[in-house]
Amino acid sequence: MKYVLTEKSDPRNPEGEKKVYGVFQCHEVMDLETLHRNMRAAGCKYDLGEVYGVVTALAGAISVQLAAGNEVDLGELGKFSVQYKSKGVDSGTTFNPNVHLQPRPVWIPSKDMAAFHDVHIKYSKANSRKEDREIRRQRRSEASTTTNAESGNNA
């Protein structure tokens, strides 16, 4: 798993001393089709259409249950529930849930799902965005130099 280092101050004390934190950097986004190929390689017998159908139906069923105020427990996957982002008002008499509440679905992984980090993970420091831009610039420059040299040889 890759990480980048970033310097941050405590949000409760923005003027305070900054500290360096490691932040996760995604390696690759796995879509359902790619995930299914990996599942098939691991012995899954369901075809992509069946997996897609279950995932789509499950997403719809979870949405309905959350909207009804229920929590959904999916065993090894974990639980889905709702949290509110709420805007503050001066008094309870002016509070309007349709205006001041924004429900957000929340996934809480099961203990087994959350323990994926107990498996041996290799950490590696990723380039910062600035370093990535510099590497791309150098590669373009090298490619341009190679192309110009080849053009000169063909003349």
Task: Tell me the per-residue pLDDT of 41-78, one tens digit each, with 9 for 90 and over.
Answer: 999 999 999 999 999 999 999 999 999 999 999 999 99
In the structure encoding, which two tokens stand for residue 146, read together? 């190679």
Residue pair 61/96 in contact (Cβ under 8 Å)? The answer is no
Nearest to 75 by CA among 51, 48, 118, 108: 108
Contact 100, 86 (CB under 8 A): yes
CA distances (Å), origin 118, targets 23, 112, 114, 122, 125: 18, 10, 9, 12, 20
Q: In the structure, what pLDDT confidence band is assigned to residue 151 with cuts at 50, 70 and 90?
A: low
Cite the beta strand spans of 11-151 per DSSP E.
19-25, 72-73, 78-86, 101-109, 124-125
pLDDT at 106 over 90: yes
Q: Which residue, among 56, 108, 103, 57, has the nearest Cα to 80 in the 3D structure?
A: 108
What's the mean pLDDT when you consider all of the chain? 88
Q: Identify which has the larger pLDDT, 75 or 9.
A: 75
How far is residue 84's CA from residue 72's CA, in Å, rounded to a whole number?
17
Taking residues 130-146, report their average pLDDT. Answer: 82
Cβ-count burial 56-81 (b if 16+ within 10 Å, e if not) = eeeeeebeeebeeeeebeeeeebebb
Q: Is the pTM of this model over 0.75?
A: no
Domains of the chain: which residue ranges?
Answer: 31-70
Calculate mean pLDDT across residues 24-38.
91
Residue 133 confidence (pLDDT) above 60:
yes
- Average pLDDT rounded to a whole number, residues 7-20: 86
Q: Is the pLDDT of residue 112 over 90?
A: no
Q: Confidence band (pLDDT; 50, 70, 90) for 27?
A: confident
